[in-house]
Structure 1
Amino acid sequence: MRIEEIRAVPGVSGFFFDDQRAIKDGATQRGFDYDGPPVTEGFDRVREAGESLIVELELADGTVVTGDCAAVQYSGAGGRDPLFRAETYRPVVEGVVADALRGRDATLFRENAETLEAIDPERSGGDRLHTAVRYGVSQALLNAAARARGQTPTDVLSAAYDTDPATSPVPVFGQSGDERRSNAEKMLIKGVPVLPHGLFNSVEKVGEGGEGLREYLAWLSDRAGELGPEEYAPRFHVDVYGILGKVFGPPYDRREVTDYFETLREAAAPYPLQVEGPMDAGGRAEQIEQMAELREGLRDAGVAVEIVADEWCNTFEDVRAFVDAGAADVVQVKTPDLGGVQRSAEAVLYCDGTDTRAYLGGTCNETVTSARACAHVALATDAAQVLAKPGMGFDEGFMVVTNEMRRMLSRRQGGRQGVQADD
């Protein structure tokens, strides 16, 4: 079945674009907004409404499947592509992208996705094809292949990469946003496997000496015992956006730092703890060096806290560099930053056989369509965990990702692998 046409419609996303550098530099939160000037190129204010670009791909039989171009909340930070504007990239999708894909066999997902990745940047106005564009169009290509083959997206990905899909739901990681206590309590009542993210993106939230994070983990541990279901055994995962680097500074294998991480472990006990983005070094090579230094220091000190790579770990090449250097216990595969969804699958699979696990992440600033696609990537690659998205309300994203995986597993276990995409 052939691809006949590609259209694009500007849409909204599940959250907002935030100028991370401005926030780290002291922009003051007032209500839901931030006071202060933006500092990252492309931002008109510190917090802006999120955008998406809805991609409609029409097949020869008149079927229309979709994908959503979306970019991360903290666009333009940590080596990522610049702020995504839907109207700017609509003519790119309907022009150079449509020209490259029109007439191709829709069943050939991997080949079509590689064609998308290979589009000449000069033909899109002199800039490289934005990761958000590749992300959304690849979702549509995945759904097109599923429709044309009469399979699920999980089966399409599994065949493309010769994998054995997960036989049970991949552990879902809930994100709390700034409502880190009330939303965490929701997660505990629902028995979420990995929680709560926490959004510790300023020294004010972490504490001048890190005491705010430690006190929060102690509270979370207590509430897990009080609210969680019987035999509940969650994993705690907090994201500190590089702020511990501001609190302590290098070198990160010194006793002051490892002793602090031990206090975090004690506060979280009896639950295992992962700390994402402990520092933001300002470049990939330095970030890898400092992450590896911290990881080795924690091992030597016998501190059972795992560290998660996020800052400067954006592309497939970045993931490979962090894994090869042994710089993290877990790497976040930040789906919109890798471009096509096939790149996310490849990044997860690259971790197989190493001592680094793959967390299929993304951003609150996505859409239901992109979240559903990522649930299939998680199942096809059997990732260590997958982010609940979109949005920061928690419940909605958890529902979307959990239900998508359960539907898929029910079909496989029942022997019905029929098409699911865009049902």
Structure 2
Amino acid sequence: MQIKEVLLAPGNGAFFYDDQAAIRAGAVQDGFVYVGKPLTPGLASIRVPASSLSVGLVLADDIVVWGDMMSVQYSGAGGRDPLFDPRQIKDLTSLVVAPRLLDVDASHYLDACDKVFEPSEEGRLPLAVEYGVSQALLRAAAHLRRSTMAEIVCEEFKLPFPSQRVPIYAQSGDAREINVDKMILKGVEILPHGLINSRQKFGTNGESFIDFVKWVAKRTREIGHPGYHPVLHFDVYGWIGQEIGLQPQRIADFICNVAEVVPAFTLNIESPADFGSTEAQIDSYAQIVSILDHRASSARIVVDERCNTLEDIRLFAKAKAAHLVQIKTPDVGSLADTARAVLFCKANNVGAYVGGSCTETDLSARATVHVSVATQADMMLAKPGMGVDEGLSIVGNEQSRLFAMLDHRRAPANTVS
């Protein structure tokens, strides 16, 4: 079950890499671009087109399976890996990773990942490399064992056959009102993200944000189908802490007040504040979670920044420093670690949200669907891109196709259903 050859192909991500530090500092938008100098190392401008690098594994039967490497929208922020450099990644993959791939049994997924992702002399491989290569290895194992990628994950982690669909969460980007309407009309289960990434969108003391929350709730009732009742999920990019201060009690008070304006809804607040380090983030988020739980608030804290790798996720889950952990797949690295992260969160009674980034590709999005379903994550992101329709189509259709195949495995009679 050897890999005969490794192919590399440059590609595009589905959105752009953005300089979070410059945007937080007040960079002004001019059309789609941001005006001003970048602040994050590696970025030539505040917004640059996302790039990717595809890795193809030529198997013994000459079938080629692919995975895509890339980094996330806000690369270099919140403890993440630096901006994705396709030329550097291509050289590293050719010199270090490809020889390892030619020496593994591609039919055994976890063993292959362990061998290929051994640290090099310079330390751990870039997480983008792990991410793309692990997708290709998962597809290789599925092809060689004549199964779905989800079944490979179940077999390797000794998990029961998945039975429940994973709720899908969509993000709006800057075209918030139009995209919220799209989500509601399509019955998205969790919405809308909202991209609350600037003082203008958050408002003095949060007034603009609260108005948007109320509008989204009102809009679901106005144009949603009867009985439609989504979870409301807003990413505030640390702006609660930025605007009202970094005291956990004040942040919890603010979040409780927001939840009270939409009392009929479960409210997810992602990245309420950035406390500057993983240790400080864990301590402060645990306090916020405790306060919300004590008050029986309908609001839930979702961690993103400072919670990147599998080890970070384990620390947050152990400390109950979030109600939901975003497992941002390109930041975690290997999809095997994404599966481990979901299972660790579930074992510690913390919600597991398999996220990712708008900068990803169709291939990476589809692979993460299989991991999400196999591990029965609590929710997964519609990705890539910021257009809503494309991400919902890619992720939603992949999940539907997957369950059609899994149902066929359960009842293999030769019938059409």
- SS of aligned partner of 1:54: strand
Question: What is the aligned counterpart of 2:178 among 169, 179, 182?
Answer: 182
Alpha-carbon distance between aligned partners in 2 of 1:86 and 1:128, rounded to the nearest angstrom: 18
Confirm whether residue 270 of structure 1 aligns to residue 264 of structure 2: yes
Query: Cα distance, 1:294 vs. partner?
Result: 1.4
Question: What is the aligned counterpart of 2:387 among 384, 390, 393?
Answer: 393
- Larger CA deviation: 306-315 vs 291-300: 291-300
Contact 1:14 1:390 (C-alpha < 8 Å) held by counterparts: yes
Corresponding residue of 2:398: 404
Confirm whether residue 251 of structure 1 aligns to residue 250 of structure 2: no
Corresponding residue of 2:415: none
Q: Residues 28-76 of structure 1, C-alpha deviation per residue, up to 9 Å, x if partnerless?
A: 1111010111111111110001000011110011110000001100000
Alpha-carbon distance between aligned partners in 1 of 2:310 and 2:124, rounded to the nearest angstrom: 16
Query: Cα distance, 1:300 vs. partner?
Result: 3.0
Contact 1:75 1:81 (C-alpha < 8 Å) held by counterparts: yes
Contact 1:258 1:303 (C-alpha < 8 Å) held by counterparts: no
Corresponding residue of 2:360: 366
Aligned residue pair count:
412
Corresponding residue of 1:159: 155
Query: Cα distance, 1:129 vs. partner?
Result: 1.5
Alpha-carbon distance between aligned partners in 1 of 2:347 and 2:134, rounded to the nearest angstrom: 27
- SS of aligned partner of 2:204: coil
Corresponding residue of 1:301: 295
Corresponding residue of 1:421: none
Corresponding residue of 1:317: 311
Corresponding residue of 1:171: 167
Alpha-carbon distance between aligned partners in 1 of 2:123 and 2:16, rounded to the nearest angstrom: 24
Question: What is the aligned counterpart of 2:225 among 226, 229, 232?
Answer: 229
Query: Cα distance, 1:95 vs. partner?
Result: 2.0
Alpha-carbon distance between aligned partners in 2 of 1:168 and 1:300, rounded to the nearest angstrom: 31
Alpha-carbon distance between aligned partners in 2 of 1:258 and 1:42, rounded to the nearest angstrom: 35
Contact 2:81 2:331 (C-alpha < 8 Å) held by counterparts: yes
Corresponding residue of 2:286: 292
Corresponding residue of 2:346: 352
Unaligned runs of 5+ in 1: 419-423
Corresponding residue of 1:92: 92
Contact 2:265 2:298 (C-alpha < 8 Å) held by counterparts: no
Question: What is the aligned counterpart of 2:203 among 189, 195, 207?
Answer: 207
Alpha-carbon distance between aligned partners in 2 of 1:115 and 1:402, rounded to the nearest angstrom: 33
Pairing of 1:31-46 with structure 2 (within 5 A): 31-46=31-46
Confirm whether residue 192 of structure 1 aligns to residue 185 of structure 2: no
- Larger CA deviation: 373-382 vs 241-250: 241-250
Query: Cα distance, 1:165 vs. partner?
Result: 4.1
- Larger CA deviation: 352-361 vs 328-337: 352-361
Query: Cα distance, 1:271 vs. partner?
Result: 1.4
Alpha-carbon distance between aligned partners in 2 of 1:316 and 1:309, rounded to the nearest angstrom: 13
Alpha-carbon distance between aligned partners in 1 of 2:53 and 2:252, rounded to the nearest angstrom: 44
Pairing of 1:114-129 with structure 2 (within 5 A): 114-120=114-120, 122=121, 126=122, 128-129=124-125
Alpha-carbon distance between aligned partners in 1 of 2:262 and 2:112, rounded to the nearest angstrom: 46
Q: Which amino acid aligns with 1:61?
A: D
Contact 1:11 1:86 (C-alpha < 8 Å) held by counterparts: no
Corresponding residue of 2:61: 61
Corresponding residue of 1:17: 17
Pairing of 1:66-81 with structure 2 (within 5 A): 66-81=66-81
- SS of aligned partner of 1:107: coil
Query: Cα distance, 1:416 vs. partner?
Result: 7.3
Alpha-carbon distance between aligned partners in 1 of 2:235 and 2:223, rounded to the nearest angstrom: 22
Alpha-carbon distance between aligned partners in 1 of 2:281 and 2:373, rounded to the nearest angstrom: 30
Alpha-carbon distance between aligned partners in 2 of 1:128 and 1:26, rounded to the nearest angstrom: 34
Query: Cα distance, 1:417 vs. partner?
Result: 10
Query: Cα distance, 1:260 vs. partner?
Result: 2.4
Q: Which amino acid aligns with 1:8?
A: L
TM-score normalised over the length of structure 1 = 0.95
Q: Which amino acid aligns with 1:64?
A: V
Contact 2:42 2:82 (C-alpha < 8 Å) held by counterparts: yes
Unaligned runs of 5+ in 2: 413-417
- SS of aligned partner of 2:346: coil
Corresponding residue of 2:327: 333
Question: What is the aligned counterpart of 1:219 among 212, 215, 230?
Answer: 215
TM-score normalised over the length of structure 2 = 0.96
Query: Cα distance, 1:258 vs. partner?
Result: 3.6
Alpha-carbon distance between aligned partners in 1 of 2:296 and 2:409, rounded to the nearest angstrom: 47
Corresponding residue of 2:144: 148
